[in-house]
Amino acid sequence: MNKEIRVRFAPSPTGELHIGGARTALFNYLFARHNEGKFILRIEDTDIARSTKGFSQSAMEGLKWLGLHWDEGPGVEGDYGPYFQSQRLNIYKDYAYKLLKEKKAYFCYCTPEELNQRRKRMQKEGKFPKYDGRCRELSSEERRKFEKEGRKPTIRFKVLENGVTQVKDLLRGEVTFENKLLGDFIILKSDGTPTYNFANVIDDFLMKITHIIRGDDHLSNTPRQILLYQSFGFRVPLHAHIPMILGKDGAKLSKRHGATSVSYYREKGYLPWTMVNYLALLGWSTLDSQQFFSREELIKKFTLEKVGKSSAIFDPQKLEWMNGEYIRRMKSEELTSLLIPYLKKAGLVGGDIDPKTGEMIEKITRLEQERIKTLSQITDLAEFFFKKEFEYDLKAVEKRLKKNYVPSLLKKIKERIKEISPFTKENLEKAIRPLSEELSLSTGEVFHPLRVALTGKTKGPGLFELAEVIGKDEVLRRIERILKMIEDIS
């Protein structure tokens, strides 16, 4: 028996890497690292019609972004490759023909249309829909007849009609399936490509996989795979079927619950470790309900025994909250470097950041850091720092600027700002705050119009801090701009 623990993540590249798939990859990765084993990546791209290189690349990039680096797989070749199933077709064919030779499998000439008609009839009659074994004992003459008709056969595995198959699951205990309900199933399609169940068994055996950790939606596949293991005399890996991830309405997580791909959250500006930390908590927990982990802590504390049996609920609000928490814990210099690509993409800064602009961005980062929940939010939060002709929020104008006292107030503020030197937040506050007493206004009645004049919004970072970053000349220009606007709409 191979003592080294070997687990695998085997995505099918028919779409973007899903949150559920990423969680499965993470649990495999943590289990391997906790047990000093190997984490293998295998791409199951035998669905020729739907698999694409783009989705394969996207899945690999998503795993790398999350920091789930594989020990063997594409780009990290080991002793058991190739790691793309599309490059292993001859292997599956050889094993399928081995079963044919041993009379454990047979050619099936039934067409998809015939199978569909029989399935519907069985359902109508209240019978469990399974293959009826029509081609199980075909004579040579019958086979020749079908082949003359141009029928291309599949290869079906013979399932014992009596008895049961037991799945020994590390999370659920023993789960029993009646063989008579399984039916003879296809292992090789008519185009020569293997089915999911067959390719998995062959690859997991040849790649010496010891533990299969996957979603419980695959539990129904497991008895068929166990029968295949047994027919070849292969050792059956240990299985752990982890609970599904559901939306907040209790239904299987899908696009109607919002974004479900890892790439979406990456583009929106979620930190990779936030995603890892949050995904780890979907179905797994520690006794003390710890929420925040370092990579080393997760690896040390992760065990399958602590994976729950109930489905996990994906909560985008909690994920966003956690991301904001991690952002607030970052050093401003590190956060600045992560925000710059978003500012560039929005056209707020150019390609080359000069020292003066870099210093300004870091100041903005420090001002906005408490409010940022995702990196992409910086473009909306900080737009007014960079755009001279930004738009004003109409509600802000209505609420804060359409007051009789505002024009004269802003003119007084402008005159006082002209006298300030050096232009610092402290000197600015000393000059502006006394106006509230002098004009018998509340501080809010003084500060709010100025904030809207400088930012176009009613909320944001500290007024005097943001004004210092904008700079004296630009502050004066913006006050003049709003005064003209007020004059035009009066």
Q: Give the pLDDT confidence of 170-186 residue by residue, as tens digits.
A: 999 999 999 999 999 99
Q: How far, in Å, CA of 321 to CA of 373, rounded?
A: 7
Residue with token string 């100025």: 450
Q: How far, in Å, CA of 95 to CA of 207, rounded?
A: 15
Say if residue 2's pLDDT is above 60.
no
Q: How far, in Å, CA of 418 to CA of 411, rounded?
A: 11
Instruction: Give the confidence band of 258 by pLDDT, cuts at 50, 70, 90.
Output: low
Q: How far, in Å, CA of 135 to CA of 486, rounded?
A: 85
- CATH 1.10.8 intervals, the chain: 330-386
Q: What is the pLDDT of residue 248?
A: 85
Q: How far, in Å, CA of 286 to CA of 292, rounded?
A: 11
- CATH 3.40.50.620 intervals, the chain: 6-85+245-313, 88-242
Q: What is the CATH number of domain 6-85+245-313?
A: 3.40.50.620
**253-290 burial, b for 16+ CB within 10 Å, e for fewer?**
beeebeebbbeebbebbbbbbbbbbbbbbbbbbeeeee
- CATH 1.10.10.350 intervals, the chain: 394-489
- Does an H or E element contain 376, and which? none
pLDDT digits 0-9 by tens, 267-281: 999 999 999 999 999
Average pLDDT over the chain, rounded to whole?
94
CATH tag for 330-386 (out of 1.10.8, 3.40.50, 1.10.3470, 3.40.190): 1.10.8
CB atoms within 10 A of CB 426: 10
> Catalytic residue positions?
255
Between the alpha carbon of residue 117 and those of residues 123, 127, 186, 280, the distances in Å are: 10, 14, 18, 44
pTM for this entry? 0.92
Q: What is the pLDDT of residue 50?
A: 82
Say if residue 236's pLDDT is above 80.
yes
Q: What is the CATH number of domain 394-489?
A: 1.10.10.350
Name the DSSP letter for residue 336: H
CB atoms within 10 A of CB 239: 21
pLDDT digits 0-9 by tens, 116-149: 999 999 888 888 888 999 999 999 999 999 999 9
Q: What is the pLDDT of residue 126?
A: 87
Say if residue 250's pLDDT is above 70.
yes
Residue pair 393/456 in contact (Cβ under 8 Å)? The answer is: yes
Instruction: Give the confidence band of 1 by pLDDT, cuts at 50, 70, 90.
Output: very low
pLDDT digits 0-9 by tens, 22-49: 999 999 999 999 999 999 999 999 987 7
Q: How far, in Å, CA of 45 to CA of 13, rounded?
A: 6
Angle at 73 between CA 68 and CA 74, to 5 degrees: 100
Strand order in the sheet with 173-178: 173-178, 164-169, 238-242, 211-215
CATH tag for 88-242 (out of 3.20.190.10, 3.40.50.620, 3.40.630.20, 3.90.1150.10): 3.40.50.620
Who contacts 168 (Cβ-Cβ below 8 Å, separation ≥6)? 174, 238, 239
